[in-house]
Amino acid sequence: MTDAAEQARQGATPMVTAPVPDLQLQLLIRLVGEDPQASLPVTLHTPGGVLHGDLIAHEVWKAEWARGLRQVEGDVAVLLARLPEAVDQVMGELQGEDGPHGLPQWIHLRDVTYLTSDTPVISRLWRGRLAHVSGWSLGKPQAY
């Protein structure tokens, strides 16, 4: 019998655990968030592979994301233009951008390169759950 099944049989509530984000990276994100002009080159290791780009504040990422959505043409353009604020509102209601002790739970990058295949993939913006970052370093790789 599994531990969860045994706990359920005994009437105990199973404990749910989640990965804990790196405190130093959380504090670095908080510092970058204090200055909208700040950016910092970083390399991240995630379950999906390695990526690098410029760490930026959530508000900067949100503004650039909204600007990109406004460039979409057609009937859906008006709806998409409201999406960033709607997401922030719901996130704030559910859990907040910041987690325990006011520390960030998300990381935002600009000018991202994914190193997950033979050919690097380039993206303008990236947002990821901080708990999914398994390793990081300041700077970008010299060659790949």
> Can you tell me the distance from the alpha carbon of 72 to that of 80, in angstroms, rounded to the nearest whole number?
8
Maximum average pLDDT range among 49-58, 65-74, 94-103: 49-58
Task: Specify the pLDDT at position 67.
Answer: 85
**Where does 47-129 show beta strands of DSSP type E?**
49-55, 106-114, 121-129
Please give the share of the chain, as a percent, with pLDDT higher than 90. Answer: 46
> Can you tell me the distance from the alpha carbon of 97 to that of 92, in angstroms, rounded to the nearest whole number?
6
Task: Specify the pLDDT at position 116.
Answer: 77
Least confident segment among 6-15, 46-55, 80-89, 98-107: 6-15
DSSP state, residue 101:
G
What is the SS3 assignment for 37? Answer: coil
Task: Specify the pLDDT at position 86.
Answer: 81
What are 22-64's pLDDT values in tens digits? 999 999 999 999 999 999 999 999 998 999 999 999 999 988 9
Please give the share of the chain, as a percent, with pLDDT higher than 70. Answer: 79
139: left (phi over 0), alpha (psi -120 to 50) or beta: left
pLDDT band at 84 (very low <50, low <70, confident <90, very high): confident
Q: Which phi and psi (to 5°) does residue 92 adopt? A: -65, -40
User: How many CB atoms lie under 10 A from the CB of residue 92?
Assistant: 11
Task: Specify the pLDDT at position 8.
Answer: 61
Nearest of 7, 52, 29, 49 to residue 99 by alpha carbon:
29
Decide: 129 and 16 in contact? Cβ < 8 Å.
no
The reported pTM is 0.76
Decide: 108 and 126 in contact? Cβ < 8 Å.
yes
Check pLDDT > 90 for residue 87. Answer: no
